[in-house]
Structure formats: C-alpha cells, structure tokens
Structure 1
Amino acid sequence: MKINQRLLQGRISTIRQDYATINKSIVDKLNPSNLYRFFCLSLYRNDYCKVRWRIKDLAKHTREKESALKNFNKDIEAVLVRKRYPVPINHPIYEFTMRSLYCIPPIERPNFITLSHSFVKVKLDIKIKGYYIKLLLIADNNKILLAPNKLANKLGMGKKNVESYNLDLYCAGLIRYIPKGIELTPNELLLDNDIAKQRKEWNPTNSKNVIKMTFKSK
C-alpha cells in the first residue's frame, strides 16, 4: 500500500509512552521550564526515539501559550538533534512550512533516571516541575545534602527561587526537609531504570547490496 506523501509529512506523534528517560548529563544544559518540556516531548517518542511535533503540540501538552515557547527550538538543540523538513500547505504565497523532527538522545547508562508519565498530572507550575527533575538528576538515594545557597550554586539558580520551589514541592508532598538538606519523595513517579529500553537503530537495506539467491526445485 502506497502512503500519501502529504499525509506522511504532515503527521504528528500521538502515541504516548508510559515513561521517559532523562540523562543526568543534561541537568545544567536546560533551564527548569525547558527540562520539563523535554520530558513531555520524550513521552511521545517512537521506537527510534524520534518525535514529530509542532510548537503548538508541545504547548498543548504543557498547557502554555505558544508565545512562551518562542525560543524552545533553539534552546533544545543543546541536548538533542532537531531535523527540519518541509510540509506542503494551502497558502497563496508559500508552498510549504517547516516542521521539526526531534531526535531524543540515547540512554547514557547508568547515569539516567526513568520518570513516569504520571508526572504530567502533578499540579505545579512547569518551572517547579522542571526544577524537581533537576533535583532527581543530582540526588543520591533521593537525598540532597546541601544548604539552599549551595544547591542554588550547583544548579545555577537564585537562592530565593530554590527556597520558594522547595516550599511548593514540600506542600505537594514531593520533598521533605531533613538535617543538612532535603529528601525527595517521588514514590511511584520515579521508576526503576531496569524497565528502560534503548532506542532501536534503523538500518535500511540497500537493494544493490543484497545477495540474490535462487533455489532450484528437485
């Protein structure tokens, strides 16, 4: 069956996965908001860890206005490869518009976390949710033994924001204060890394290199 090229180019990723993996190496490469957006994007990866989304699709899932994501495509290229491709449109002047194909990076074992899709249901501002992901990435057995000022320096954030976000997370039941720091309590949100699968690699067969075999009937 031949697939209509226009339909193929215009499609978007609609199948949500149960979890997304996030490499610890990206903790300082994205601000909290973009880190949470990256998580949402990763939830809709296919078997080859690729996502076809428009900015309007991302804004819909993060419940933001499109204008809030005007710099997202530029910023996200710090952690993944974004390929652009043309899609035909019905417009009196322009023949096509450009869409994005986001290539989610492979798992960096053992330095990654596996976060459940249920995290999107947590009712907190996306900045706070992204900040929580940062905490999960640097925590040791869910504990961070740092004073607020040292934690702020480690994450490249302001001390007041760290203290404010920690209070919001405490009220949401996602952290508790302990001597010399905080303990994260993600419970069912943080999954065992053993369930995470590496992305598949697509190796199309070149028909010119295929050895042709023939069988003779007896």
Structure 2
Amino acid sequence: MNVTQRRFLNSTSTRTHNVTINKSMLNALNEPDLYRFFCLSLYRNRYYNVRLRIEDIAKITGEKESALKNFNKIMDTVLIRKRYLIPINHPVYEFTMRSLYKIPAIDNEGFITLSHKFTQVNLSVKVKGYYIKLLLIAENGIVPLTPRETASKLGMSKNTVTQYNIELHKAGLLRLSSDKLELTPNELLISNDEAIQKREWYPATKDLLPNITLSFDK
C-alpha cells in the first residue's frame, strides 16, 4: 500500500445508521455546530472514535470547508480530541497532523436518537441544528412554548425562530400553532430503546483503530 492510500484510510470512517445526542448539549453548541456534531458522530467506529478531515466533514454537512475553520476549537468544548501523525507524500514534510474525535457517552439525564436520514433533508445547517434543539426540549413531540418563549429558551431572536419554524413546516417536520410546536420527525427520530451507542467509549490505541473507508452513501 502506498503513502497516499495509507493517508486516505487513516483519516476516514464509515457511516453508522443513527446518532444519540445528549440533552445536556442543548446549550453547549449553537445551531449549525450541533448539526455538525451530529454529522461527525455518524462516522464513529465501534469504539466511538471518529477520524475525519475537516474537508470530509464539510462534504457531509454540505458546506464549504471555510465554514468549518473553527470546528476543532468548538468541538474541543464538548468532546475529547487527540491529534496523531500520519505520513504524507510531501517534498519537505514526512508527516501531517490529524484529529481523532472521541464521541461522548450517553448521558443518564436523557438523550435523543436521530437517524442518518436527517442528512438527506433539504434544509440549511442552521435550521437542521435548530430542529435538533427542538427535539431535545420536546415533551412527547410537543414543545409547549410560544415562538417568543422558544427564542428565549434557546437564546435566539424571535424573528429567527419564526423563520426557521416556517421552513420546518414547509419541510413537513413541524406543525404550527400559537402556543406550541408539534414536531413531526416521523422516521427520523428513533426510539431510544433502539439506540446502540454504549454508555462508555474505549480509549484510543493503535490496536483499536482499524483502517476503514469513508462512505457518503445516503
């Protein structure tokens, strides 16, 4: 195997079917970064470690790579990230640094389980992250808050919440009323009883990190 092939295999992961997101993360990340965390978590291996390049993550979220310039710094606030060397084909440098992201364990205080199909929904990264936040605060699919109350709880402007609600309604993910929001994620939200994420992840070692291939199949 040549250096280029090793570089690709060492920096990528395969997609899983769903992701659990702890309710404690509600205020830890803003809307776009929460969706980016969801996308990152989709590519965890069985030890709940993720090895992806920023350019790979941008492809998954559908953004330009420049939009993720602060991604690692932000992710450092919610997960453990370790850096490791991989060989590269370069006339001066033999190695470059890559990141290993360790996805947090399930929180006993509560979590939701979201399908990989959410990546196929035609909405912006911001709106998708907002929808995840609604799912985190919903009670049996209902957010018993007015738009103004929702905006206050999530630290957003009322106008932004109203606009996002309209976009979600058009996408069939939300029913609107004056005093509550009814979420309709259908097959996107999976029963927590079916969640496969373990309550603890394993430390990263060379033996626990097999070479795996990136797949962007929907």
TM-score for the superposition, normalised by structure 1: 0.85
Q: 1:63: Cα distance to partner?
A: 1.2
Distance 1:9 1:83 in 2: 18
Code of the residue aligned with 1:106 in structure 2: it is A
In structure 2, relative to structure 1, the CA distance for the partners of 1:122 and 1:198 (3 Å cut) is closer
Q: 1:92: Cα distance to partner?
A: 2.8
Q: Which residue of 2 aligns with 1:207?
A: none
Equivalence map 1:136-147=2 (5 Å): 136-147=135-146
Q: Which residue of 1 aligns with 2:10?
A: 11
Q: Which residue of 1 aligns with 2:66?
A: 67
Distance 2:143 2:127 in 1: 17
Code of the residue aligned with 2:107 in structure 1: it is E
- SS for the counterpart of 2:85 is strand
Q: Which residue of 1 aligns with 2:187?
A: 188
Code of the residue aligned with 1:194 in structure 2: it is D
Equivalence map 1:1-218=2 (5 Å): 7=6, 11-109=10-108, 111-199=110-198, 201-202=201-202
Q: CA deviation digits over 1:156-202, x for unaligned, max 9?
A: 11111111000000111101013411110001100000111243654
- SS for the counterpart of 1:29 is coil
Structure 1 stretch displaced more, 167-176 or 14-23: 14-23
Does structure 2 conserve the Cα–Cα contact (< 8 Å) formed by 1:80 and 1:105?
A: yes
**In angstroms, what is the RMSD of aligned CA positions?**
2.0
Q: Which residue of 1 aligns with 2:208?
A: none
Count of residue pairs brought into register by the alignment = 200
Distance 2:72 2:125 in 1: 17
Q: 1:10: Cα distance to partner?
A: 5.2
Structure 1 residue ranges without an equivalent (≥5): 205-218
Code of the residue aligned with 1:181 in structure 2: it is K
Q: Which residue of 2 aligns with 1:210?
A: none
Does structure 1 conserve the Cα–Cα contact (< 8 Å) formed by 2:7 and 2:86?
A: no
In structure 2, relative to structure 1, the CA distance for the partners of 1:171 and 1:88 (3 Å cut) is same
TM-score for the superposition, normalised by structure 2: 0.85
Structure 2 residue ranges without an equivalent (≥5): 205-218
Does structure 2 conserve the Cα–Cα contact (< 8 Å) formed by 1:114 and 1:193?
A: yes
Structure 1 stretch displaced more, 112-121 or 85-94: 85-94
Does structure 2 conserve the Cα–Cα contact (< 8 Å) formed by 1:115 and 1:189?
A: yes
Q: CA deviation digits over 1:37-77, x for unaligned, max 9?
A: 11111111111110000000101111111101000110111
